[in-house]
Structure 1
Amino acid sequence: MDFSLTEERRMLADSLRGTLKRGAGWAQLTELGVLGALFTEAEGGFGGSGFDIAVVFEELGRAGAVDPVLEAGLAGGLLADCGESALVEQVIDGSLRPVFAHDEPGHRYDGAVHARVEGGRLSGTKTVVIGAEGAGLLVVSALDGEETALFAVEPGAEGVSLRPVPALSGGDASEISFERAPARRISPSGSAQPLIDARIAAATLALCADAVGVMETVRDMTLDYLRSRKQFGRPIGSFQALQHRMADVVIEMEQARSAVINLAGHLGAARALRDLHVSATKNVVGRTAHLVAEEAIQMHGGIAMTEAYALAPLARRLIAVDHRFGDEDWHMERFIALQAG
């Protein structure tokens, strides 16, 4: 398996990095074609592979961008799986921003679905829906009879109630209540769970690649601080204890990067093998993200605890990584179960 980036992916990374440095927002990102990189040619995009996803989100993480690209890619991917090509085209050109409402209160990453549709009306509650405020379409998982299906719901429809709060990672997270809200089934007959699992695997890769990018920025900020902050007449970075701690951080980061590259190469593998690499990567990245945030705050000292300092939102973003799509303990348990066969 070739893990090297193609020339096209290098060009995409360079273009995206330059655009983000200029303070690009949603309009500039979509104009650049960022969302198109998350979809295959058959779906109307020009990428869609694990490495395309990793390249895009590493750059977004490095820049600390909070635009809901991951959410649009996850929901848009499900729309593509359901044959909603007209909607996918709008997602790619940036005129439609959908989000996927799947998690429900009281469930620990197991994806259990209790929301239900009867007679074209959806009832139930979804929680921690990132980017729902301002979204143009809700893609919702719900039971249709005894099978899990996907439904398109208008955010402003009767019976839809959003309660947004600030998200730890940036942006907003909403709890959404549905009380007999009109819903259109978009998934084909049969359970939509395999479609959901595959797209969440890709979203987990995106989250992990984003975390690697954030960790690189946090590392650079910490190194700059160690070089410039002086104590006892010399830079604190010259103290051996801090050098050793920084070396440990860099080693852990390289392991996390290797795990992300490995997952990118196995995203299209058979389900059991794919999920094995998803859990291995999420466990490593979740643990490393927490370590990098903690060590960066410790080495910066008191200034790292102030909201005005640029490290604060990045540290929160790293801490939040472990709480989305399964934390490190949950993925360790799943990895062991998958290994056992």
Structure 2
Amino acid sequence: MDFNYSDEQQQLAESLRKFLGAQYGFDQRKAIVHSASGASDSVWATFAEMGLTAIALPEEDGGFGGGAVDLMAAMEACGEALVVEPLLDNVGLAGRLVARTGSAAQRAALLPGLADGTRRLAFAYLEPGRRYAADPQATTAKRDGDGWVLNGAKTVVIGAPLAHTLIVSAATPEGASLFIVDPAATGVAASPCRTVDGQRAADLRFEGVRLGADALLGTAGGAQAAIDEALDFATALLCAEAVGAMRYAVDATLEYTKTRKQFGVAIASFQVLQHRMVEMHIHTEQARSMAILAASRVDGTDASPAAVRERQRAVSAAKVKIADAARLVSQEAVQLHGGMGMTEEMKVSHTFRRLTMLAQRFGDADHHLARFARVS
């Protein structure tokens, strides 16, 4: 397997890093996090201009027909900068589901806007009290004439306060289904919140929400495979983002130990700290290798049961490694910074929070260990 990025992928990542370095510094990020919306429209527009919102979309829908491997380097750059704009949720989840399950009319209505940055989506699938379960049960949709009536609740929907359109999973008599929902529709109630790492999310309630026949994505009861595939795709992108955050933590900690002095010498000269820094570096590189493997597997086009199991095994193995590495690297980074590592003024403390969230999202280590064993 080739662990090197292509020239195009490296150029995109470097362009993104240059932009983020100039326009998304730590103080600028803090201002965005504490703004009314919790995201920057100008940053999102720049992401669209760079093609980040279109890379993984089909060419016929205004995208470039790329995959997770094409986005990996860019997601690493986003991880380094702790970007709070919901790129992963738009491109890796909601957009992918529309591209994979939507009719020509539905794709034409939603995806060109996603590609050019004028429309933002959010995928609502987690339900209260069900942890990481991806099959809808508490949210239901029943037929009502030619349309549907949606009831239920979703929790921690990342990007929902910013979304123009929601993609909602619901249980129908036929099985798991997906629906396009207007967040401003009658019967939709949102309770916005800010996650511990600065992203905007919301808990959603649906009470008698009436949907037209054209709100159904794909066929009734046929959505679960598409949901599972999109979650694996998004998990691979999340692993790349975590690698970027870990790399920043390693670099920032190394720089700090070179300048912090104790007993008249830089603490980087202490052998025991050198060993800890080496361990942080090794875990980050191992995590990167697993992230590349996961990205290559989710980009496969084979939908046979054997290929699906192989994809699930690779993604779960990568997520287990990412979760373990994120915990070790983030904790070591804070400890080696001393008390300063816990302060709001240090970016490393915010990196700790982001890595903690990334380790839990889409399933923690225990969840993915169980899935790895189940599909092996």
**TM-score normalized by structure 2?**
0.87
Identical-residue share of aligned pairs (%): 41
**TM-fit CA distance, 1:7:** 2.2
Determine the structure 2 residue equivalent to 1:97.
Answer: 120
CA distance in 2, matches of 1:42, 1:23: 32
**TM-fit CA distance, 1:22:** 2.0
Determine the structure 2 residue equivalent to 1:134.
Answer: 162
Give CA deviations for 1:233-292 in whole Å, capped at 9, x if unaligned: 111111111111111111111110110111122113421100000000000001101111
Determine the structure 2 residue equivalent to 1:279.
Answer: 316
1:303 aligns with 2:332: no
Determine the structure 2 residue equivalent to 1:265.
Answer: 296
Determine the structure 2 residue equivalent to 1:19.
Answer: 19
Aligned letter for 1:325? F
**TM-fit CA distance, 1:41:** 2.4
Aligned letter for 2:364? D
Determine the structure 2 residue equivalent to 1:62.
Answer: 80
CA distance in 2, matches of 1:50, 1:306: 34
Give CA deviations for 1:67-121 in whole Å, capped at 9, x if unaligned: 1101111101111111332211110111100000001011131213121112212
**TM-fit CA distance, 1:47:** 4.1
* 2 and 242 in structure 1: CA distance in 2 versus 1, 3 angstrom threshold: closer
Match of 2:107 among 81, 85, 88: 85
CA distance in 2, matches of 1:311, 1:287: 18
Match of 1:326 among 363, 368, 374: 363
* Matched ranges for 1:144-223 at <5 A: 144-183=172-211, 184-223=215-254
Aligned letter for 2:225? P
1:224 aligns with 2:263: no
Moved more, 278-287 or 21-30: 21-30
Aligned letter for 2:361? R
For the aligned residue pairs, the C-alpha RMSD in angstroms reads: 1.4
- The question of whether the paired residues in 1 share the 8 Å contact of 2:172 and 2:221 is answered with no
CA distance in 2, matches of 1:308, 1:101: 33
Moved more, 203-212 or 329-338: 329-338
| Count of matched residue positions in the alignment of Structure 1 and Structure 2 | 339
Moved more, 296-305 or 111-120: 111-120
CA distance in 2, matches of 1:256, 1:233: 36
Give CA deviations for 1:21-40 in whole Å, capped at 9, x if unaligned: 22161111112111111223
Determine the structure 2 residue equivalent to 1:8.
Answer: 8
SS of 1:100 mapped into structure 2: strand
Aligned letter for 1:149? S
**TM-fit CA distance, 1:187:** 2.1
Aligned letter for 1:80? A
**TM-fit CA distance, 1:173:** 2.1
**TM-score normalized by structure 1?**
0.96
Determine the structure 1 residue equivalent to 2:69.
Answer: 51
- The question of whether the paired residues in 1 share the 8 Å contact of 2:69 and 2:299 is answered with no
CA distance in 2, matches of 1:149, 1:56: 31
Give CA deviations for 1:128-160 in whole Å, capped at 9, x if unaligned: 101111210110000222311110111111111
- The question of whether the paired residues in 1 share the 8 Å contact of 2:123 and 2:168 is answered with yes
SS of 1:285 mapped into structure 2: helix
Aligned letter for 2:242? A
Determine the structure 1 residue equivalent to 2:351.
Answer: 314
SS of 2:344 mapped into structure 1: coil
Could you tell me which runs of 5 or more consecutive residues in structure 2 were left unpaired when the two chains were aligned: 25-42, 301-306
